[in-house]
Amino acid sequence: MKEIVVHNKKFRKLIPSARIQKAIVSIANRIDRDFKDACPLFISVLNGSFIFSADLLKNVKCECEISFIKVCSYSGTQSSGNVNMLIGLNENIEGRDVIVLEDIVDSGNTLEKVIEELKKYRPASVKVAALFFKPNAYTKKIKLDYIGIRVPNKFLLGYGLDYNGIGRNLKDVYILEDSR
């Protein structure tokens, strides 16, 4: 499928699934190299990151744990800028090496909030792995340690990313066609 319509908006295929999987294997290899003798705790930011997190962990070989948190910042196709608090952090992360898993980093508002909150619990280190990154939308200084694929500053759909709830199950990533 080269084109799809979701909630009356047209999207066209941008990133095929094979390219996504390759980027994930590359992130996993870099993490294995950096955490050979450690046991990092992955913190996956739901909902969007659930597919990325599963595929990434299947490729990571070092000993590791995973936990899931939730924040909410997006409504429709525009970042709202309001980021709510974290929910679901049950692990004691004090002294742990944490790797935050984000499906996509856009403005960076969500990531900044997540990191600010996590640091209150005094982890030993916090790194960030983002499958997709929109450099032209990013407004923050936080370093992204592992980046999968840089993408244009446009609305994307698929592989965990939704448009008002729809499209997370798509294996490829689609881009919103400019409305004329």
**Rule CB under 6 A: which residues touch ligand IMP?**
48, 73-74, 79, 102-111, 155-156, 161
Neighbours of 38 (CB within 10 A): 14
Of all residues in the shown chain, the one whose CB is closest to Mg ion is: 48
CB 142 within 8 A of CB 111: yes
End-to-end CA distance of the chain: 22
CB 95 within 8 A of CB 40: no
We find the least distance from the C-beta atom of residue 123 to ligand IMP, in angstroms, to be 20
We find the least distance from the C-beta atom of residue 123 to Mg ion, in angstroms, to be 20
Residue 12 pairs in a beta bridge with 3, 175
62/86 with CB nearer Mg ion = 86
81/95 with CB nearer ligand IMP = 81
* Inter-CA distances, 140 with 106, 119, 136, 152, Å: 10, 17, 11, 17
Of 180, 139, 132, 129, the C-alpha closest to 156 is 132
DSSP 8-class letter at 30: H
107/123 with CB nearer Mg ion = 107
40 binds Mg ion (CB under 5 A): no
We find the least distance from the C-beta atom of residue 137 to ligand IMP, in angstroms, to be 7
H-type helices in the chain, by residue range? 17-34, 50-59, 109-119
48/108 with CB nearer Mg ion = 48
Q: Which of 55, 103, 106, 172 is catalytic?
A: 106
Per CB under 5 A, the segment of 48-56, 81-89, 141-149, 162-170 that binds Mg ion is: 48-56
Chosen residue from 14, 31, 44, 48 binding Mg ion by CB under 5 A: 48
Mask 83-122, x = binds Mg ion (CB under 5 A)?
--------------------x-------------------
106 is a catalytic site residue: yes
31: Cβ contacts below 8 Å, ≥ 6 apart: 40, 60, 62, 99, 129, 146
Catalytic residue positions?
A: 106
